[in-house]
Structure 1
């Protein structure tokens, strides 16, 4: 990784101790600074943790109580939940949200096509130990393009000799200045699976608001959703037809050591992926790609 980074103009090595004053041992990270933005990416999970355009507000939320430890999920940014999203429906005892977010990815390429754009490519290959949890060898590639917006391209490849079912999400956390007045648009008129009521289908009438815990899965959604509030954020997805909207509410947040009392008022999750009825089934040697774009108002 150091060999790739040292030949760039906009990328530098950093870590969780240097960047966030957290305890040792440090997790390796990358700091990107170009003419459009500043961003931080953890090598663990290829997880974008922070992103701030030069002319706008921070578009990602990172918990002030996030834990930076090897093999532990980092609360905030954009975790990659894969090869299943949420609780594994066939084996609930398996780790929630899969296992790739807790493992190091390989930085395979950096491109700097112009002073305003930085492109990084991370790859993940499942190993023999992973086969005990997911019996299909696969690779994942995450192409992260950072300019005045975030663009993520996720590519999955099934290397097994049988069909492989993938359920996944780019679990993006977004900041809100006032949770009570924030809203999510672009999902009205759809049914959602309500995780607070055993995934019971429920009709969405109007914008989504946050007066308590919200945990909803929307299938086959339109391309674009918006967060109304401060900052205003637009989320667009191609070939990731599921949207997940989540806020833990006061009681759950207080019980989470990496969130804490009152901290739920700082963020909402508006995620895109392919889960439940939109999950991907890849035949042997098949690849499939999806794109997520996150843009703020300037």
Structure 2
């Protein structure tokens, strides 16, 4: 079992401020040390890379190696303003521009419930805001405002990599009966019983409410809620290699994501907003 690469910031016994900027792997990272939790954000992409409530194991996985430039694999990348491949521009990056660009941190504060952050990105005729509330629970809220005079298309995702003990010992419940699309087999599917992902999985479900990520190796259950207006995407590469990620690391995560517009892009009128959220808590 690998240590989370960003736990290095919390090894010292000296007292840290709640918020402190550090330089790591040629990126600016915001290290958060609160009585209820520890976390790390990257300014690039406003990406939550590490989250760990006190006394618990990490909730999020992050690759040990990062490219010198480009997207960081792990945590919760903000895939925006398109999710997956761009529908018409093959040379444009997968999952959009947002995870490649530095965001502005407009607000960071702490209280007895945890920490609260507000990140913002202005890009062309778009404004996108990410609000994060972290403590004993985790909540991310993404809001997009279209400021152009013509309608536009949008797809987006909060692409969460959840840290687990072993992919062979996890199961997802709460999706029973959900309709979806299996992108590996290119076929409509309906989930029967618990979902196991060890052999590879890339499914998009129309699903509302919580699902439970049961991690038998770590004897932990995370309750994950992708909101009431999004698709729930479950992904794991199985035996397929991932660039820059070791085989051992691949067994230590599973992706359960909130996404919208992936199958039918959202059409936003001028001034219209689109919202996406992702919440998680420890099960009973």
Matched, 1:84 2:82: yes
Counterpart for residue 97 of structure 2: 99
The alignment partner of 2:244 has SS state of: coil
What's 1:15 paired with?
23
Provide the secondary structure at the position in 2 that maps to 1:96.
coil
Distance 1:102 1:84 in 2: 13
Q: Distance in 2 between matches of 1:78 and 1:294?
A: 12
- Please identify runs of 4+ aligned residues in structure 1 that moved more than 4 A: none
Measured in 1, the distance between the counterparts of 2:273 and 2:198 equals 41
> Secondary structure of 1:111's match?
strand
Which aligned pairs between 1:260-275 and structure 2 lie closer than 5 A? 260-275=246-261
Distance 2:233 2:266 in 1: 16
Between the aligned partners of 2:275 and 2:226, the Cα distance in structure 1 is 11
C-alpha contact (below 8 Å) 1:121/1:141 kept by paired residues: yes
Indicate yes or no: 2:200 matched with 1:213.
yes
Aligned counterparts, 1:25-104, within 5 A:
26-65=26-65, 67-70=66-69, 72-104=70-102
Output one character per residue of 1:7-52: Cα deviation in whole Å (capped at 9) or x when no partner: x952111121xxxxx4xxx200101111110000000000000000
2:234 aligned partner: 245
- TM-score, normalised to structure 1's length? 0.83
* 1:151 is the counterpart of 2:139: yes
For residue 197 of structure 1, give the secondary structure of its aligned residue in structure 2.
Answer: coil
What's 2:211 paired with?
225
Query: Contact 2:226 / 2:257 at 8 angstroms: preserved in 1?
Result: no
Pair 240,105 (structure 1): closer, same or farther in 2 beyond 3 Å: farther
Q: Is the 8 A contact 2:107 2:117 kept in 1?
A: yes
Give the length in aligned residue pairs: 266
| TM-score with structure 2 setting the length | 0.87
Look up the match of 1:195: 183
Provide the aligned C-alpha RMSD in A: 1.9
CA distance in 2, matches of 1:183, 1:166: 31
CA deviations over 1:157-186 (Å, ceiling 9, x no partner): 001111122111100001111211201112
SS at match of 1:144: strand
- Say which structure is richer in strand: 2
2:198 touches 2:236 (CA, 8 Å); kept in 1?
no
1:116, distance to aligned residue in structure 2 (A): 3.8
SS in 2 for 1:119: strand
Q: Which residue of 2 aligns with 1:295?
A: 281
Q: Tell me how far apart the structure 2 counterparts of residues 110 and 262 of structure 1 sit (CA, whole Å).
A: 35
Note the C-alpha offset of 1:291.
2.4
CA distance in 2, matches of 1:234, 1:172: 13
